[in-house]
Amino acid sequence: MHVNKSIMALKPYPVSSHAAWEHKSDANVLKLDWNESTVGPSPNVVSAVQDFLQNGNLNWYPDTNNKELHKSIAKYAQLPVENVQYFASSDSIHEYVVRTFLSPLDKVLVVGPTYDNFRAVAESNGSLVDYYNLNSDFTILYDDFKSHIEQFQPKIVYICNPNNPTGTIHPVEKLIEIISQFPEVLFLIDEAYFEFTNNTCSQFVKNYNNIIITRTFSKAFGLASFRIGYCLSSIENIGYLTKIRNPKSISMISQVAALAALNDLTYTESYVDEVNTSKKIAAHVLKELGLSIFHQGGNYIFINLAIDVEKELLEVLLKKNIYIRSYSHVSGAHNSVRMTIGTKEQMAPVLEVFKDFFKK
């Protein structure tokens, strides 16, 4: 079997434990390891999906140009429809960006530690990936960052904002300063957790041709199971991506769900407010326990633990059917865990486990 050399050498994107799925019928399972919403989507989504299953054309291919969804996303992003395109998840957009803008041996710079999917996709295409490592408090030293870009000369720079897993919020004015300084470099800005901060570079895609922003319906909207996302960029870039986009890959049921979710923003905004409040409470409790935490943006908290307690803590949580994610395998994040934040009611028993564990 002749396998692509890049695939042979590829280090796969490491997903967290699949163990929670083995207990999916248990109502007491609290899945805090993949940063999904901890509650279901808007009731409008459920109603719209049920209606589609009963009355929709299930034997047809999906709508390949859903104008209503397109306009709804554009309105939500406060951009013209020409600057917007939807895809079968933001992960899927990563794949299209690689296919559209990268050739084998092109250089990619990843600001990390961060979400690893884009690295894996780029390397599978034969691209050369380097890292610009965040400093000890997980922020960017911008003068140093500029120097690194000048020296490495990447074709694409990948930045997650807010950063996953650290929660770092990169200031928009700093990012735009860098983006404007390097017009030949494409900046892929992953805004998967935009709703929890409202910190975005979206207003600049009409003026800069070297920005692509990816977003998802998997987090704040609670549609992770549906696999749908969208990107924001210049008309030219959207045109390039649309050239190779497979319009049949976005299932009709996902389109129905996304449109219904966008038609009930009050539900999503209420959930985001609840999570942000819950996160403040959790951060206070964890700090009181003497833990080092990072929690600026996103629906999660990044916690640094002593190396001799991480495994034991994870085992204690698992006995309570609580799943969080270990980051000990990641360079620059050793002895750390990331915990998705749910509602105040959901997080109360989790915080009690932390209290009992660290006060023993």
Whether the link from the prior residue into 171 is cis, omega within 30° of 0, is: no
- Give dist(CA 113, CA 131) in Å, integer: 8
7 — pLDDT class (breaks 50, 70, 90): low
CATH of domain 56-264: 3.40.640.10
pLDDT level of residue 21 (50, 70, 90 thresholds): low
Cα angle 253, 256, 261 (rounded to 5 degrees) comes to 125
CATH class of domain segment(s) 5-41+266-358: alpha beta
Q: What is the pLDDT of residue 9?
A: 62
Residue ranges of the domains in the chain? 5-41+266-358, 56-264
Express each pLDDT in 78-90 by its tens digit.
Answer: 999 999 999 999 9
* 26 confidence band (pLDDT: 50, 70, 90): low
pTM of the model: 0.94
pLDDT of 329 higher than 60: yes
Q: Which residues contact 250 (CB under 8 A, 6 or more apart)?
A: 62, 86, 87, 88, 228
pLDDT of residue 335: 81
Whole-number pLDDT of residue 306: 74
- How much is the pLDDT for 328? 79
Work out the pLDDT band at 324, boundaries 50, 70, 90: very high
Q: Say yes or no to pLDDT of 322 above 60.
A: yes
pLDDT of res. 132: 97
Plot region of 344 (φ>0 → left; ψ -120 to 50 → alpha; else → beta): alpha
One-letter amino acid for residue 158 of the chain: Y
Mean pLDDT in residue range 204-219: 98
**Amino acid sitting at position 342:** G
Angle value at C-alpha 162, between 161 and 166, nearest 5 degrees = 120
- Sign for the pseudo-dihedral over CA of 219, 25, 116, 210: negative
Span 104-150, pLDDT tens digits = 999 999 999 999 999 999 999 999 999 999 998 999 999 999 999 99
pLDDT band at 359 (very low <50, low <70, confident <90, very high): confident
Query: Do β-strands 300-304 and 292-294 pair in parallel, antiparallel, or remain unpaired?
Result: antiparallel
DSSP, residue by residue, 127-157: -EEEEEE--TTS---HHHHHHHHHHH--SEE
Domains 5-41+266-358 and 56-264 share a fold: no
